Amino acid sequence: MLPYKSLIQVDRKAAVTLYIQVCNQFIALITNGTMRPSDALPSSRVLSELIGINRHTVRLAYEELISQGWAESIERKGIFVLSKLPILSKNKLPESNRDARPNEAFAWTNRFKGAAPGESLQRSGLAIDDGFPDVRLAPVDQLMREYRSISRRHYGKNFLKYGSTKGSEHLRASISGYLSQTRGLVVSTENMLITKGSQMGIYLASQLLLEPSDHIAVGMSNYKTADETFRHAGASLLRIPVDHNGMDVDYLEKALVSTKIKAVYIIPHHHCPTTVTMSVERRLKLLDLAKAHRFAIIEDDYDFDFHYDNKPYLPLASIDHNQNVIYIGSISKTFAPALRVGFMTGPPTFIEAAASLRLLIDRQGDTLLEEAFAVMYDTGEMERHFRKSLRIYKQRRNLFCQILQSDFNDVLDFKVPEGGLAVWTNFVAEIDLVKLSVDAFKNGLYVGNGSFGRNESFSTNAMRLGFASLEEKEMVEALSLLKKTVQQPHSTH
């Protein structure tokens, strides 16, 4: 007899009834070849004793198996796997399925080399992240109140139906008002698509602007997922150096003599990974180049709202009179990353095409959530949240940099970032960042290993250290664990 005690496991807390759980697990044993046609099932008495459930529940499970056509009852003999089922070759258990000979239909998945899928960062415990917001500051209760209140209203029921692929008209109007007040960017709702975070905007723009063999200019160091997105569109990357004033536009100008480009991707506030802000002079020159060489600018301004020391510079999109700029922003980065709402602005025909493309993979966003965010903008709640976060993040940045300065002076150097949620730290060559990350984890601290910031043309012994999501006490503790790890002899080569 098969070891049913370990093969059939029920979970009394699960939403699925017990007899269906038993039935489904028998089906799995049949389809993976563990049970074969005409094999006998254990009697209801035996199985109920083995797995500790009521005999009646086992009978219900067997009846279900019979009614679904997996088993048959033979008088005075018992219950058997249906004899007429095709013989299924015995598959190994799921973890071994990787060894199975791949079906050629899936061949492309083996060739596809995108960025590694995002890992869950929903862990508890101390972490120095890549520069993410402190989700505890987000007025989520308020947002959820609005969400519930809209869903209860008569007109709110409409938001449960299919809505516009471009996103809630109300949210587009609210964000458009906010963009105009905060950064002089005047766009109508026709010029805007609500996305699921900036990444969707980057993807849609890349698919619409780039064709195989096109070139796109990107920073020598760059946001890795954007690089992969452009490569996925078939484009080649033209790497342009990035210094303390952002992308070196003079270098780009020279490169344009020999290479025609379709687009430039920039993160002017604040470059990822190095956190620098692009100067006004370079912004203006880049706009001129776009006009002269007829390329598009993809402006990823996910960090605009968090600029500490002076007023943030106007986005290129606000000064562009030639409709060459696609402007991308995200509520996910300023509120909470798991709430996937962002936006993209551009010429109406571009936005129309982006909506048509988005439709192919995602009919629309969560309209109720978008409506709730719209109310949060209209009531000034979003602005209050940004102002409060800005004040707190600035304090955190200052403390974080003070501690780095005083306690890590001998192992790293950095510039205090004017904005954003992370510090770009250059470690001395003796510190092996991969080992540092592993050792820190053993000491109870998550910290990256710098690999996300590197690429084929940019490899420094550096990484982003995010300060925004750490309260003062957590920050002190996290940095003291980092220091302890740095001082361990095995953290070095």
Chain contacts with ligand PLP (rule: CB under 6 A): 197-199, 223, 267, 272, 300, 302, 330, 332-333, 337, 342
Give the residue from 228, 266, 269, 238 showing the smallest Cα distance to 118. 228
Q: What is the closest distance, in whole angstroms, from the C-beta atom of residue 200 to ligand PLP in the complex?
A: 7
The amino acid at residue 74 is I
| Residue closer to ligand PLP (CB basis): 26 or 223 | 223
Give the residue from 365, 478, 328, 373 showing the smallest Cα distance to 138. 373
Q: What is the closest distance, in whole angstroms, from the C-beta atom of residue 177 to ligand PLP in the complex?
A: 21
| Residue closer to ligand PLP (CB basis): 53 or 267 | 267
| Residue closer to ligand PLP (CB basis): 62 or 302 | 302
What gap in Å lies between CA 1 and CA 22, rounded to an integer? 17
What gap in Å lies between CA 63 and CA 67, rounded to an integer? 6
Q: What is the closest distance, in whole angstroms, from the C-beta atom of residue 273 to ligand PLP in the complex?
A: 8
Q: What is the closest distance, in whole angstroms, from the C-beta atom of residue 198 to ligand PLP in the complex?
A: 4
| Residue closer to ligand PLP (CB basis): 42 or 329 | 329
What gap in Å lies between CA 186 and CA 154, rounded to an integer? 33
**Burial class of 222 by CB neighbour count within 10 A (0 to 12, 13 to 18, 19+):** buried
| Residue closer to ligand PLP (CB basis): 222 or 364 | 222
| Residue closer to ligand PLP (CB basis): 130 or 214 | 130
Q: What is the closest distance, in whole angstroms, from the C-beta atom of residue 272 to ligand PLP in the complex?
A: 4
| Residue closer to ligand PLP (CB basis): 298 or 403 | 298
Find the residue with minimal CB distance to ligand PLP: 197
Cβ-contact 370, 341 below 8 angstroms: yes
Q: What is the closest distance, in whole angstroms, from the C-beta atom of residue 206 to ligand PLP in the complex?
A: 13
Q: What is the closest distance, in whole angstroms, from the C-beta atom of residue 160 to ligand PLP in the complex?
A: 25
What gap in Å lies between CA 468 and CA 471, rounded to an integer? 8
223: part of which helix (H) or strand (E)? Answer: none
Give the residue from 387, 384, 374, 386 showing the smallest Cα distance to 176. 374
* CA 304 to centroid of chain Cα atoms: 19
- Six token digits for residue 252: 């780009």
| Residue closer to ligand PLP (CB basis): 70 or 377 | 377
Indicate the SS3 state at residue 33.
coil
423: part of which helix (H) or strand (E)? Answer: strand 422-427
Indicate the SS3 state at residue 397.
helix
Q: What is the closest distance, in whole angstroms, from the C-beta atom of residue 234 to ligand PLP in the complex?
A: 21
